[in-house]
A and B are shown apart, each in its own frame.
Chain A
Amino acid sequence: MLDVEILSRIQFAFTIMFHYIYPPLSIGLGVILVIMEAMWLRTGNVRYHNMARYWTRVFGLTFAIGVATGIVMEFEFGTNWATYSRFVGDVFGSALAAEGIFAFFLESGFLAILLFGWNKVGPKMHFFATVMVCLGAHFSAVWIVVANSWMQTPAGFSIEYRGEIMPPGFVPNADQIMHSRAVIHDFWAMVFNPSSMDRLSHVLVGCWQAGAFLVISISAFYLLRGRHREFAMSSLKIALVVAAIASLLQLATGAKSADGVTKNQPLKLAAMEGLFKTQDWAPMGVVGWVDMEKEKVYGLQIPGMLSVLVGNSPSTVVTGLDAFPREDWPQVQAIYQFYHLMIGIGMALIGIAWLGMLMWWKGWLFDLHKPLVRLYYVILVLSVLGPQIANQAGWFTAEMGRQPWIVYGLMRTSQGLSAVVTANHVLASLIMFAFIYTLLFAVFVYLLTRKIQKGPDHEEDSEEMPPSWIAMMERRQARAAARGK
């Protein structure tokens, strides 16, 4: 029978997975909107204005669902994980409060101007609002990743048990946990805990990829169909540059994160690679299957590569699962698969983005009469799924790899539950979320498809633009022309 723990975990996983479709799109599209509006301000070319307008409408749709599903996350700490909330409130709460005050207000306040301010404020003010929304979206990632990283690598705190500060290294047992809490003693050590900056950079770059590949995918679709050619070419170029840079950066931040996991959470690293025995010449898997009974991995492996990555030499000894008691192991098979799925997609995205850059450089990128180029565009249309799946898989690796702990090494997931919530309650709410989110997702996909079909306003159509903006645009164009001579 399903108990409260597994139901609560399923509910949290389901609601956060669904939520996490949207914020990366907002963050990534935010960056692209800033670029488009900056280019419009610089050149005065109305095409960039129309691009910013169109992608803002897509942004508005993703943002609304992100807000609606985000409140659920904040509530769920208290509703389903009350004991955890009492335990971490003193440490975790200040990050959450900072998120509300610095990030959410900034985002939502300026969002009004971004979405509805086109005819109410001047172009520079509008650009400023776009930058602020983008900044707010990034801030919101900062604080939540800091809080989550604290759960992976707690720092800057002491444990208080029945009002007394305990010596470092004290881990409350099941009876003590109700009377224990983590209290902060160094705010900055909490914020800059060992994993927070590595993970933050990895998360943010993943968001840029999500936004960039959405723009790439829709633009490629238009070009394949021969619609909105100029608009789609310009959008594709901007997004391709962002995607190319982000995909390479993601390799670097990923390597840095893995390095951190090696130092801070060796058990998680062992599970990610399915490394059962502590050994030198530790291999790195490409694809594989973990046999939990024989404690072996079948598949394609690069011998010694993990040792090289960990210690720059194949003779480096890497800690395996055998160094830890079995009851502390996370689910090795699932983590191995999610981790390698993420890496595989990450590599594919580098390939896709840089192939596009190469084609652009060679002048083939828009030769849409060639079958191979068309094939590439089909891949581009599908590429929107890549960052989405990789982001989810990466979070699965990180969060499942933390199990059986809710706060790594301090509090077990089973100890963090709400004492008064029953399995039936959680089952009821889980069914409710399943129903609502299925409906939301269907409507989202439908409306996005509609927006894509409708497309941007025509290039020459600048009726939306207020006269003062048109005057400014003409001045810009004159200046750009003067620069050209």
Chain B
Amino acid sequence: MDLNIIWFILVGVLFTGYAMLDGFDLGVGALHLFVRKDEDRRVFLNAIGPVWDGNEVWLVTGGGALFAAFPMVYATVFSGFYLPFMALLAALIFRAVAIEFRSKEDWRWWRQMWDLGFSVGSIVSGLLIGVVMGNILQGIKLDERGEYVGGFYALLNPYALLLGATTVAIFTMHGAIYLVMKTEGALQARVRGWVNRAIGIFLAFYIVLNVATLVFAPHLLDIVRARPWLLAVFALNVLIVLNIPRENHKGNEFRAFLSSCAAMATLMMLFGLTVFPNMLLSMPDPEYSLTIYNAASTPKTHFIMLVIAIIGIPIVLAYTASVYYIFRGKVKITPHSY
């Protein structure tokens, strides 16, 4: 195993961490407008209040690691997908400040404005992240310099949009399960009812997505033929997803949440194992693809970063876990809550 593979995995781990953590708070955002009572909305916001910005750091660090480990990929994706990334920034900004600003005033219009900003921002963030992943799975048009030359509208193709919607669905499911852990009483009963519906919607999208893959990304089929063990990962993923309603039914919301995290992780694994060793597949000219080798930094940089990661990541995991432990349990609203 060389450093390029290690960094491919580590970048994947960072983005998986992002999906598992920010995934639930984006999902809470998607569900935010489904409760009407102000008190319930505050419970939702405070359920993610202490942790959302730590969660977003996974995206920042994932982006930084991509920049450092595979600068060519970082540069091509971010410049090639210019407008979607700008829209993603707008969405992330709105939802972030909406959390902070919303409960600072009592006026109806004020709260409704920021509620809308929080919810739409969360949904659009999930959608755009999915659209970017959809394009990467499907392959994008690169030239001989490794620059994206497909244009803006090509990015908004049906397959990418479908993956975008699927991403919103899985985040929503994840968020609903998280909310079951953080709420109590009548609100919890309501949210618990949402979980199964959210799982159903996600599964529907997931099935459609797999069928669409056969139509829009037939090259992935060749990869599956060459790597039949991908089907085992796929089967594992489906089993894990089906375990979520089971745990939810039994009232083990924490296990349901862990299953949902594992579902994200297996999906990301599936994604990584499918595209490997490409990071950006070039279609229709596969020889221009950016791989973990031709898009990488030098081994020296990979090594330095590995040292940084080996020192840093255990510390990060330790205090992230402590923070989640300290803020475990049901949400209590106080005068200085969001």
| A interface with B by C-beta (< 8 Å) | 57, 60-61, 64-65, 67-72, 74-75, 77-80, 82-83, 85-86, 88-94, 96-102, 104-106, 108-113, 115-117, 119-121, 178, 181, 183-185, 187, 418-421, 425, 428-429, 432, 436, 440, 443, 447, 450
Contacts and interface: CB of A to CB of B under 8 A. Distances in A.
B79 interface: yes
B49 A96 contact: no
A100 B59 CA distance: 9
A72 B86 CA distance: 8
Interface string B40-56: 00000000011101101
B133 interface: no
Most chain A CB within a 10 A radius of its CB, from B68, B92, B297: B68
Interface string B72-102: 1011111110110110011011101101110
Given A86-B71, A121-B326, A71 B89 contact: yes
A178 B147 CA distance: 11
6 contacts: A61-B100, A64-B99, A68-B93, A86-B71, A113-B50, A432-B90
Interface string B108-128: 000000000000000000000
A116 B56 contact: no
B316 A64 contact: no
Interface string B321-334: 00100110000001
Contact of B96 (A68, A90, A184, A432): A68
B308 interface: yes
A314 to B, nearest CB: 46
A98 B82 contact: no
B210 interface: no
A93 B71 contact: yes
A450 B56 contact: no
Contacts of A79: 78-79, 82, 85-86
Contacts of A419: 79, 145, 147
B327 A64 contact: no
**Top 6 nearest A-B pairs by Cβ distance?**
A89-B71, A93-B68, A78-B78, A100-B61, A418-B79, A101-B312
A298 B101 CA distance: 49
Interface string B156-167: 000000000000
Contacts of A121: 326
A429 B86 contact: yes
Contacts of B61: 97, 100-101, 104-105
A78 B74 CA distance: 6
Secondary structure at the B interface, as helix, strand, loop or mixed, is helix
B98 to A, nearest CB: 10
Contacts of A447: 101, 104
Given A85-B74, A113-B326, A94 B60 contact: no
B148 interface: yes
A431 B65 CA distance: 29
B316 A109 contact: yes
A105 B145 contact: no
Contacts of B250: none
Interface in B288-336: 297-298, 300-301, 304-305, 308-309, 312-313, 316, 319-320, 323, 326-327, 334, 336
B107 to A, nearest CB: 12
A83 B75 contact: yes
A100 B323 contact: no
B200 interface: no
Contacts of A96: 64, 67-68
B240 interface: no
A70 B300 CA distance: 28
A64 B64 contact: no
Given A93-B297, A108-B57, A419-B145, A67 B96 contact: yes
Nearest to A90: B297
Contacts of B300: 183-185, 187
Contacts of A443: 97, 101
Q: Which of B69, B72, B100 has the most CB of A within 10 A?
A: B100
Given A67-B56, A104-B61, A429-B86, A93 B145 contact: no
A82 B334 CA distance: 46
A82 B79 contact: yes
Contacts of B72: 86, 89
A99 B308 CA distance: 10
Nearest to A100: B61
Contact of A94 (B86, B301, B336): B301
A36 B101 CA distance: 26
Contact of B68 (A94, A104, A436): A94
B272 interface: no
A39 to B, nearest CB: 22
